[in-house]
Amino acid sequence: MTAIQILVFFLTFCLMEFMAWFSHKYIMHGFLWHLHADHHHKDHDSWFERNDAFFIFYAVVSIIFFLLWQYDVLSVGLSIGLGIFAYGCTYFLVHDIFIHQRFKMFRNANNRYAKAVRRAHKMHHKHLGKEHGECFGMLWVPLKYFKN
């Protein structure tokens, strides 16, 4: 990979935090609340949630960039696709495994950042409705959640 491709990968990864925040605040807590609501209410018996459909959307976007690169339409398509994929993997590890314990792993992570991520997400989930939410991002945690 060239320096430009590596830079595009990291820029894409970072931009995905904004995309996660934006889509969470304005789409998931907006017109697609019916897909996201079960994540807040836990009024279902399935391991899967309708909320998991959002993963499919970003996976398709990532695959499209892989294909654009594969067919020589976009030279940095691989970098963008990998950046989206890497963010998706990170999001899954942090949100689904670390925070919500969908797999019983990383339970003992107790550093300042881990505690801040948990606090911020707990504040997000204290709101059961789609209004009055806070902390819509995932990896970028407001400083107020780093308290001791």
Alpha-carbon torsion, ordered 137, 51, 25, 145, to 10 deg: -30
What pTM was estimated for this model as a whole?
Answer: 0.89
Instruction: For residue 27, give its domain range.
Output: 3-105
Report percent pLDDT > 70 for the chain. Answer: 98
100 in any annotated domain: yes
Q: What is the pLDDT of residue 4?
A: 96
- Residue 28 included in any domain: yes
Does the pLDDT value for residue 1 go beyond 90? no
Q: Which residue has better confidence, 104 or 91?
A: 91
In a domain, 7, yes or no: yes
Query: According to the 3-state scheme, what is the secondary structure of the chain?
Result: CCHHHHHHHHHHHHHHHHHHHHHHHHHHHHHCHHHHHHHHHCCCCCCCCHHHHHHHHHHHHHHHHHHHHHCCCCCCHHHHHHHHHHHHHHHHHHHHHHHCCCCCCCCCCCCHHHHHHHHHHHHHHCCCCCCCCCCCCCCCCCHHHHCC
Q: What is the mean pLDDT of residues 99-107?
A: 84
pLDDT digits over 36-93, tens only?
Answer: 988 887 766 777 888 889 999 999 999 999 999 999 999 999 999 999 999 999 999 9
Q: What is the mean pLDDT of the chain?
A: 91
- What is the tally of structural domains in the chain? 1
Assigned domain for 130 exists: no
With beta carbons less than 8 A apart as the criterion, state whether 30 and 54 touch: no
User: Would you place residue 20 in the very low, low, confident or very high pLDDT band (cuts 50, 70, 90)?
Assistant: very high
Q: Is residue 132 part of a domain?
A: no
- 44: in domain: yes
Residue type, 143: L
Question: What is the pLDDT averaged over residues 87-109?
Answer: 88
Asked, for residue 49, whether it belongs to a domain, the answer is: yes
Residue 134, in any domain of the structure: no
Query: Is it the case that residue 132 has pLDDT exceeding 90?
Result: no
pLDDT at 44: 64
| Token code pair at residue 87 | 């963010």
